[in-house]
Amino acid sequence: MAEPLKHTSMTPDIFAKRDSNFVLWRVTNSIPPPELIIGQLQLGAPVSLVGEQHFPLQQSAEFPDLWLISADDCNLSDGQVYHYWFEVTDARSDRSNQRIRVTDPMAYTVDWRLIGPRLNHPYTEDDRYPTAVVQYQDGKLIPCDAGGETGTLEEHPPLLSLSPNNRTVLYELPTTWTRIGSAGEREIGLGTFCDVTSLIISGVGGENFSDLEVTQPGRSYLMELGINALELLPPADSFYQRQWGYGTTNFFAPDYELGYAVDYSWPAPNRDLRALIDACHNRGLRFFVDVVMAFSRNNAYLAAATDDFFILKPGDHPSDPDAHNSRTGLSREIRNGFGSTLFRYARMVDAYDPVSGQQMLLSPARQLMKAALLRWMNDFHVDGFRLDSVENVYNWDFVREYKDLARDTWRQRFTAQGAAAAEADERFLVVGEELHEPLALLEQQRLDGLWHEQFKKYIRSALLGEVEDTDFETTVRKAIDCRNLGYSDGAQAIIYLTSHDVEGYRNERLYNFFQNNGVLEGEIEKRVKLAFVCLLTAVGVPMILAGEEFADQHDLFDQEGNVKQEGGKQVDPVNFSRLTQDDWRNRVKEYVASLIKFRTSSDALTVNDTAFIHTDFNDGKRIIVWQRGVAGSDQVVVVVANFSAFGTDNPHHPASEYRVPNWPLTPAGKQWREVSQQRDVPSAWVGREPIFPWEAKVYTLV
């Protein structure tokens, strides 16, 4: 048996086999052998498979767990699009060896219009798998959408044109959107790949949300906002009717619904996702993918090879290495699949490796995820990953394997353009969501970065004038400089005011957070602006949940008025229509846009250097001043932040002032500018300008 090898090729071996064969890797019950069921989709009521043919798959002589049949042996017509399933013997112990049609686990396209036949008890509607889609052409199996759309994503522009990590501002975008209808009602729908593209390209209008001002031809909302990285909540195909997308089913396929706008005759998710990413790259936006690796909802291997890939009831097997999460001490609990089925990453088998093409000792689930990673990097040119629920992935060795493979693949793309590896490294991130923030994941190089949940906790306390730590100054220091909480570099910490996880205490959108904590409606605008100054001048990689830039508010609540839906995590959609309904929200958006553009262009904010040069807690004040940038250089930023109701008396009077001692010297030929107002500061007023309640000013040398 061969030892595990380092990857020398970034194209998995099984992908090459799939060029001309239908291939199924790993089946638990192979008597009778798995079958290919193939035909062509016919619309009607119901949708059906016409010209249905059945072909037994042949066991590979070299690799006993590999089953395949040449496309040339399947009586296919050249140039035609086909829909197909694999029929396998169900490997679950309670299914009595029932035959079931499952999706190709590595399908690039799935079509939920045609799902498998109903089966008797204990099967339910959830066990009806969608067909996979492929085109037969000149003896080859060509990946395509249901209408036969094919294509590849060009590698342009130069990857060096993308932002390095220390200049990146991420925009976290849900694919569930809402709007306010003509009668004032809230309408919830899908923001498809095309709708997202309309936020980037000025000449493209929206599809499902074509009536929004932000999706109109002539608008380029995300470019106006100034962000330079887009992160979609999981875009891989999900069993759930699209909400947040955290119930991934088909890991190699972009989501069927996100490629199926209401006016389409058929879904085209591959085409539309390629167009979206092409739009991002041509406008300097990096594209991040949110990946769910801990668990899956109704993946084909749940039936085809249950125990190789999944642990069904971890609580019943506490001694199983795959049963517990990765947390230590009292927090180490049984893994949580949140209604989905947990993958096994500890169990090893002697098997064919779909990545290297070798026979070796491996974890099937690990290799499945690595192959999926290469599909997304090779075909969709993604520029970063966010790994969901890392504690429930459990296996840190696998997390590092995944990160290293992603980085190796990225470097290969980069160096193919003649760029240096160091320049590649600073333009790629694999970050994890583990809200306990175990820094060992970074110290052991398992991940590049973590979601910095503590930033949100500390800064939200400061925004209410509260103490989260021993004193107010420490609360703000820990928020603004992640190194005070153990991080060694800003690129390791993804910082945010709000994330998509808005259920629970103090997790709600900023507008609702302030409202729930007694901030008056007329005061919320100031608090939101103060929040964004803190976010966009702090050490870390800022991330903005879509809608927070204009203080969106919650549309979905349960019967008790809590921020959640159906007892699970809140899936509150972004409501872009609010931008046109409240002038103050548009003012917030313009303010945030000015700060984002400053963040992505300021040299002072690319370094970790941070100094707190003034505090004032006298007479109820909570004023803190910090400096970013290398001290003594001409690339510094000063932030004067007032976390209190104090304001300078008669602030518009020429003699009114608030003095900040220790203000940096002004180098010859330079002057200070206040960023949010783009206002040059007269030399006589440097460090002396009046301050206002719950406000921050950002100054830079120009």
> pLDDT (tens digit, 9 = 90+) per residue, 446-458?
999 999 999 999 9
Residue 423: what pLDDT? 92
pLDDT tens figures, 431-450: 999 999 999 999 999 999 99
Look at the block and give the residue holding tokens 């209008």: 205
Domain locations along the chain? 13-142, 170-251+279-294+369-601, 604-701
- Distance from the Cα of residue 529 to its chain's centroid: 25
Residue 134: what pLDDT? 99
Banded model confidence at residue 315, pLDDT cuts 50, 70, 90: very high
Same-fold call for 170-251+279-294+369-601 versus 604-701: no
pLDDT tens figures, 377-428: 999 999 999 999 999 999 999 999 999 999 999 999 999 999 888 899 999 9
- For domain 13-142, give the CATH number: 2.60.40
Residue 147: what pLDDT? 98
- Among the residues of 381-447, which ranges form H helices? 390-393, 396-415, 421-425, 440-443
d(CA 424, CA 443): 21
Contacts of 569 (CB under 8 A, 6+ apart): 244, 246, 338, 501, 502, 503
The answer to whether the beta carbons of residues 145 and 270 sit under 8 Å apart is: yes
pLDDT > 70 fraction of the chain, expressed in percent and rounded: 96
The answer to whether the beta carbons of residues 454 and 438 sit under 8 Å apart is: no
Structure tokens at 692: 């206002």
DSSP conformational letter for 153: -
Residue 557: what pLDDT? 54
Cα 76 to Cα 52, 56, 492: the distances in Å are 11, 15, 51
Residue 246: what pLDDT? 86
Banded model confidence at residue 167, pLDDT cuts 50, 70, 90: very high
Residue 504: what pLDDT? 80
Structure tokens at 295: 């668990």
- Distance from the Cα of residue 29 to its chain's centroid: 36
Residue 4: what pLDDT? 34
Residue 226: what pLDDT? 99
Q: Which fold has domain 604-701?
A: Immunoglobulin-like (2.60.40)
**Does 3.40.710.10 match the CATH number of domain 170-251+279-294+369-601?**
no
